[in-house]
Structure 1
């Protein structure tokens, strides 16, 4: 397996790293030059005659890493294997402190399910060669269907875990995208106390090259950004961005790539990302963190865990001591309530539930079940 680590994201650095991983070739020592009174002739070719290093091969795994994942190397690392592209995201979270405060996780949600975006260590495997099928497979309503270029999982928009997801079964009442459950970047903390997207990862557009995939399905199919910017999603910054293909998209939100495969595009309308799969999906590639708090449990100061409560999430920050602080409008009356949480072991967290965010609240410890 070749490991590729990025620090300075230039083609030259990329190729030097690859070269460092090659085995040295043994050669015989050069014979000593004959003795002469004349100065040796300069045989070094002019700089213009030296061939420049080549770019990664078009369509290769190395090029995929350079194009799609390298810009987020502080969040996700990538390696090329023989069968899979291996992605490691130590937290499974986007940038916790982005430059634009409106792009912070959870901000803007108006129907909060009392879950928090706790870090989770993901080891993703994306097939390098999709196994294309003659018939489509419905996207799963439960668990991830794709991984964004920053290592964050992507789920289907359907909130119910046990229903058909073909677009003909669309029900806006269970569409997380239109029900106020997502932040300005298209994500939220789900039932596993994890963070994931249900919509185009719109906040990546600040630095993503839109000629490259913004995500990959678990079947290996690439997902390109087509449309997705609205006054809410992306805060109006990307409303006019349109990289949709001229060819109409099918029910899977995809078109043929001209080589027997398929590629998806994001849209402002359902199914938003991947409506169904043309490639075979191995269920073992799905990673679903276990929740830390019981579904339906009463919250320390109101609401029920896992069920939508009418409140607006106004902020989420990470401090220097490792505490995440999620703030929201109080369930009753005025003021700001919130939850503070910090990892204590690999699977366990301390929580501080504050009805008044400025005062200490109810402290609890919770662990992910196995």
Structure 2
């Protein structure tokens, strides 16, 4: 099953409401009056209500009664479980589309949303204007996360046309979320109840006070105290649209509030489709959806079905009528551990990384010109690298794999593999400081076994999977077929491509976040010299160019933890 819950469900989108059990009806469509995209139905033992949680429980109660969400609590947190699919029309109206679509998520168990039951006023309230650009800053009372109104590039997502008619869109993991206050939920909960809660624990109301009075005297964070001294935020019709920061204490880790759940994607995060507007989104079956977009007056579609195992089959039809069908399997996820994010142990937190070359899936409809979908390339949908690091251990985390194994293992694709090693990386798998920004900042020596027959040249990429994207530190192509290594500080062999800073050089690791990080060097054996931009090739350009010429590849994984300044 795509969702692992206490109650068996027929398909990932499925839910039975109380009234449905009487009539036998099932909600299916996201934008029809009689059928809606439906979050799954969870069951859990009820816990005694506590006086300190009555108000927050009441706010979420209408959606819990409908079966859209499930809540629970302990002495510190109020937990909200959902599958991340709201009960209203989705995606229609988006004018700046990243080619992502809504897929059900597993915001359940230890991957549920957590809201503090006892907000603590911060000595120095934090703004969201230039911080917290990753992850959620609030949770709507229907269980849908709300991200910073500024996207991860610092742009107003509403102003640039990225949001649908309900103020939401899908992220890189095909996870639906809002970027503005969901005031439409007042139709369900009433204007006297919050429509969301910020992750510092304070409620977010609509455009009026709970008693219907006009809102006055908001502070720089978009909130104020009521007559009894209780702090709360308000939705606004102009930026910041909801809480403009956190009046209460929060923990910031790697640019987002921690803790919070992780979304699980099944395919590669895509690039914007220039000129596209989403004009339709409908249910075509119990577990199937169809998104329709328009480019220059011509329509294209993305049709997809999610099966019980979580695998998703997509059919992309571009505006020229060319169709391609691809199937994506759920990403394998490593064991939880210090910094681990996969659910292999009880402390797991979400999706594992991409395949050994950093590619989890393939692109959807077209590139910037609305062309045909990209075909899969070697290395996609394989076993991921070790789990991400960067968080402190949590109770129930599985033991962390030995670093030595991570440092020496080379991932082998189905068509044969390369064994990649480095004489500079010791048995513990830790990158020496010499190769980081705190040392000489030079590239480490890399060695590999010869490629298979027909190898015309090699290419290399050094990358790191951050929570929101894959970062590229070093790209080298045009390495002669006779070479099986690059020396320390190599510059004379092959052509150096562009790192994420746009420079044709090795970018030494210089982590800004705490904790151990995992990095990967992938070497590709190619049957032909790739055709790359004359001005310098990025990692993305390299991967696109070698899709049909990769004979074999291998990945060396190592770790690095920057000393606290």
Residue 137 of structure 1: how far off its partner (Å): 1.2
Q: Does 1:92 align with 2:84?
A: yes
Counterpart of 1:254 in structure 2 is 223
Counterpart of 2:124 in structure 1 is 135
CA distance in 2 between counterparts of 1:357 and 1:341 reads 19
Q: Does 1:109 align with 2:77?
A: no
Q: CA-to-partner distance for each residue in 1:6-62, whole Å, 9 max, x for gaps?
A: 959xxxxxxxxxxx978xxxxxxxxxxxxxxxxxxxxxxxxxxxxxxxxx88x6423
From the superposition, tell whether residues 274 and 246 of structure 1 become closer, same or farther in structure 2 (CA, over 3 Å): closer
Q: CA-to-partner distance for each residue in 1:189-212, whole Å, 9 max, x for gaps?
A: 122210000012133233221111
Query: Any unmatched runs of 5+ in structure 1?
Result: 1-5, 9-19, 23-55, 99-103, 164-173, 228-240, 296-304
Stretch moving more, 207-216 or 64-73: 64-73
Q: Does 1:151 align with 2:135?
A: no
Counterpart of 1:69 in structure 2 is 61
Stretch moving more, 65-74 or 119-128: 65-74
Q: Does 1:353 align with 2:316?
A: yes
CA distance in 2 between counterparts of 1:322 and 1:347 reads 11
Counterpart of 2:201 in structure 1 is 220
From the superposition, tell whether residues 21 and 106 of structure 1 become closer, same or farther in structure 2 (CA, over 3 Å): closer
CA distance in 1 between counterparts of 2:123 and 2:214 reads 22
CA distance in 1 between counterparts of 2:103 and 2:184 reads 20
Counterpart of 1:124 in structure 2 is 113
From the superposition, tell whether residues 313 and 209 of structure 1 become closer, same or farther in structure 2 (CA, over 3 Å): same
Which of the residues 190, 193, 216 maps onto 2:174?
Answer: 193
Counterpart of 1:315 in structure 2 is 280
Counterpart of 1:30 in structure 2 is none
- 1:11-50 to 2 correspondence within 5 Å? none
From the superposition, tell whether residues 352 and 226 of structure 1 become closer, same or farther in structure 2 (CA, over 3 Å): same
Residue 247 of structure 1: how far off its partner (Å): 2.8
CA distance in 2 between counterparts of 1:308 and 1:286 reads 30
CA distance in 2 between counterparts of 1:365 and 1:242 reads 49
8 Å CA contact retained: 1:69, 1:150: no
Q: CA-to-partner distance for each residue in 1:87-135, whole Å, 9 max, x for gaps?
A: 110x21101xx4xxxxx10011111110111110111111110121121
From the superposition, tell whether residues 68 and 344 of structure 1 become closer, same or farther in structure 2 (CA, over 3 Å): closer
Q: CA-to-partner distance for each residue in 1:150-209, whole Å, 9 max, x for gaps?
A: 000000111235x6xxxxxxxxxx111111111111101122210000012133233221
From the superposition, tell whether residues 184 and 289 of structure 1 become closer, same or farther in structure 2 (CA, over 3 Å): same
CA distance in 2 between counterparts of 1:60 and 1:344 reads 41
Residue 66 of structure 1: how far off its partner (Å): 2.8
CA distance in 2 between counterparts of 1:252 and 1:346 reads 43
Residue 63 of structure 1: how far off its partner (Å): 4.0
Query: Any unmatched runs of 5+ in structure 2?
Result: 1-16, 20-45, 252-256, 332-350, 353-565
Tell me how many residue pairs correspond in the alignment.
278
Counterpart of 1:233 in structure 2 is none
8 Å CA contact retained: 1:107, 1:316: yes
8 Å CA contact retained: 1:226, 1:244: no
8 Å CA contact retained: 1:155, 1:196: yes
SS in 1 for 2:258: helix
Taking structure 1 as the reference length, the TM-score comes to 0.67
CA distance in 1 between counterparts of 2:322 and 2:72 reads 45
CA distance in 2 between counterparts of 1:160 and 1:244 reads 35
CA distance in 2 between counterparts of 1:294 and 1:242 reads 47
CA distance in 1 between counterparts of 2:79 and 2:92 reads 30
8 Å CA contact retained: 1:126, 1:216: yes
8 Å CA contact retained: 1:144, 1:156: yes
Counterpart of 2:496 in structure 1 is none
Residue 351 of structure 1: how far off its partner (Å): 1.2
CA distance in 1 between counterparts of 2:59 and 2:330 reads 37
8 Å CA contact retained: 2:315, 2:325: yes
Taking structure 2 as the reference length, the TM-score comes to 0.45
SS in 2 for 1:207: helix
From the superposition, tell whether residues 68 and 244 of structure 1 become closer, same or farther in structure 2 (CA, over 3 Å): farther
| Larger RCO of the pair (alpha carbons < 8 Å, separation 6+) | 1
8 Å CA contact retained: 2:266, 2:328: no
CA distance in 2 between counterparts of 1:159 and 1:210 reads 28
CA distance in 2 between counterparts of 1:129 and 1:328 reads 45
8 Å CA contact retained: 1:219, 1:279: yes
Stretch moving more, 105-114 or 73-82: 73-82
